[in-house]
Chains A and B, each alone.
Chain A
Amino acid sequence: MAEKRILVIEDEEDILSYMMTFFEDHGYKTLGATTGQQGMDLARREVPDLITLDISMPEKSGIKTLRELQQDPKTSKIPVVIVTGVSEELQTYIEHRKQIKPPAGYVFKPINTQELLETVKRLIA
């Protein structure tokens, strides 16, 4: 069976490196992006199996990126897991936004890697 591919969108280089290495150690192929726009471009081009998405990013925030991913037919079916240090009130905020559907999952920093892995496995076996 082909390896599943995860696109990690995270502007902090250390965290990006950590997540990509962790996923690779657990049998996934990875792509990395440090900005929302880079992430969008990669997602459209590569159509990964899952996307992890940071929220607080310069220029294009994770919220804007999430909305664009959901609106683009090429990427709208890719499950997105938000991985963020923003408070858990973010969930309520997103639920109240009419133009955004809730993501497939949330993992809050500092990352519990067990929880992250279980969330990913649940979404892409």
Chain B
Amino acid sequence: MENLYRQYFDEMPGYVTVQDPEHRILDANRRFRKDFGDPAGGTCYKLYKNRKEKCPDCAVERSFEDGESHGGEEVVVTREGKEVPVSICTRPIRDEQGNVVAVMEILSDIPDSRLIQSKLSSLDLLVSTISHGIKGQLTGLDGGIYLMNSGSAKNDTERVKKGLAMVLRNLGRVRSMVLNILYYSKDREPLWTSVAATDLVKDLADSIKKRAEETGVDFSTEIAAGVGEFEADPKATQSMLANILEYALDACATDPGKGKHWVRLSVSQDAGNTIFRVQHNGRGIDPETREKVLNLFYVSKIEGAGLGLFISNKIVNAHGGSLEVDSTPDVGTTFTVRLPKR
């Protein structure tokens, strides 16, 4: 009989795990083992999302707290790097005294029709977000041209220079938006090759330095000793980090409270991962926004179409990595990207 129940458990569709209060996986069905490996006491947030800590608003956590079933939706990433959108259902498991000693978490694939509906409403949001962004950038371009024309008429070279800088800046934003939209429109497999982490950081520093100087932000890099190479798509990784750096510069530019702003890009490696950190002391993100900022086309109105961080998160997921955001409003933010070395 026990063998039969074991078989029932193993053959359940979707990913089924039983977790203890620390979110360690005590048991998992066949499909989970196939896509995520032997749990070996690992935690659900590490295996499903490559996170170091519990997910905010975790359904399993809520079941432990109140002994009820809970649900939600998530995107998990298999060990092959494939993103799988799932709906979540939890069931508390009680001992003879009625205490919740474990929680069963069942992740079911979201049916295609719902995915299509979700994609369509995302597309709607994308279009209105892009439209808003483009209007701002066109106004910036108009502004630059106005300054150049009026500066020329008044023989005011300072005004002409200011206008030219404005045109170039907004042209850069348009370019960045177009590239992000193109990236979003296709599901791309990374073009895996060996990437020298040091070279990547130096190239990024070269491209971001000028913009940092123009906005009066101190930009620095920190490369830990012994940092070597890792397997990644070099263009996608560069784009991913550039988006985060742009976001950081803009958070500084729209933070009138502090005297001096800084942004720091650092890289280090541990046994399994290459770890990039982007830190800044600009405008921070409140907890409610923090979760949205990677998952929606969040128009924070600090720059462009809000696609940048969304795309960065997509690229990180495609590499089987993780992107975490740690932020305090009015203090600053740290973005931590972990990419497996492979």
Binding site for B on A (CB under 8 A): 11-15, 17-19, 21-22, 25, 34-35, 38, 56-58, 85-87, 108-111, 113
Contact = CB atoms under 8 A, between A and B. Distances in A.
A56 B132 CA distance: 9
Contact of B254 (A21, A22, A58): A58
A18 B253 CA distance: 17
Contact of B146 (A22, A57, A85, A109): A22
A110 B302 contact: no
B53 to A, nearest CB: 27
Contact of A38 (B146, B170, B256, B300): B256
A15 B146 contact: no
B139 A87 contact: no
Nearest to A15: B139
B128 A87 contact: yes
B62 interface: no
Contact of B300 (A18, A25, A58, A86): A58
Given A12-B140, A58-B300, A87 B166 contact: no
Nearest to B132: A85
B162 interface: yes
Nearest to B136: A85
B169 interface: yes
Nearest to B144: A14
A118 B128 CA distance: 28
Interface in B153-190: 159, 162, 166, 169-170
B143 interface: yes
Interface in B276-299: 283, 299
B12 to A, nearest CB: 45
30 contacts: A11-B302, A14-B144, A14-B166, A14-B170, A15-B140, A17-B147, A18-B142, A18-B143, A18-B147, A22-B146, A34-B254, A38-B256, A56-B132, A57-B301, A58-B283, A58-B300, A85-B131, A85-B133, A85-B135, A87-B131, A108-B135, A109-B135, A109-B136, A109-B138, A109-B139, A110-B135, A110-B139, A111-B139, A111-B142, A113-B142
Contacts of B140: 12, 14-15, 18
Nearest to B289: A58
Contacts of A110: 135, 138-139, 142
Nearest to A61: B301
A56 B299 contact: yes
Nearest to B162: A17
Contacts of A58: 254, 283, 300-302
B194 interface: no
B121 interface: no
Contacts of A14: 139-140, 143-144, 166, 169-170
B150 interface: yes
B241 to A, nearest CB: 23
Nearest to A35: B256
Contact of A15 (B132, B133, B136, B283): B136
A54 B246 CA distance: 22
Nearest to B167: A14
Interface string B243-275: 000000000011010000000000000000000
A87 B140 CA distance: 18
Contacts of B170: 14
Contacts of A38: 256
B166 A17 contact: yes
A46 to B, nearest CB: 17
Given A12-B139, A18-B144, A21-B159, 8 more contacts: A11-B301, A12-B140, A18-B143, A25-B150, A34-B256, A56-B299, A85-B132, A108-B135
Contacts of A22: 146
B131 A21 contact: no
Contacts of A111: 139, 142
Nearest to A25: B150
Contacts of B166: 14, 17-18
Given A11-B254, A17-B162, A56-B132, A113 B146 contact: yes
A26 to B, nearest CB: 11
B146 A18 contact: yes
Contacts of A86: 132
Nearest to B145: A18
A85 B254 contact: no
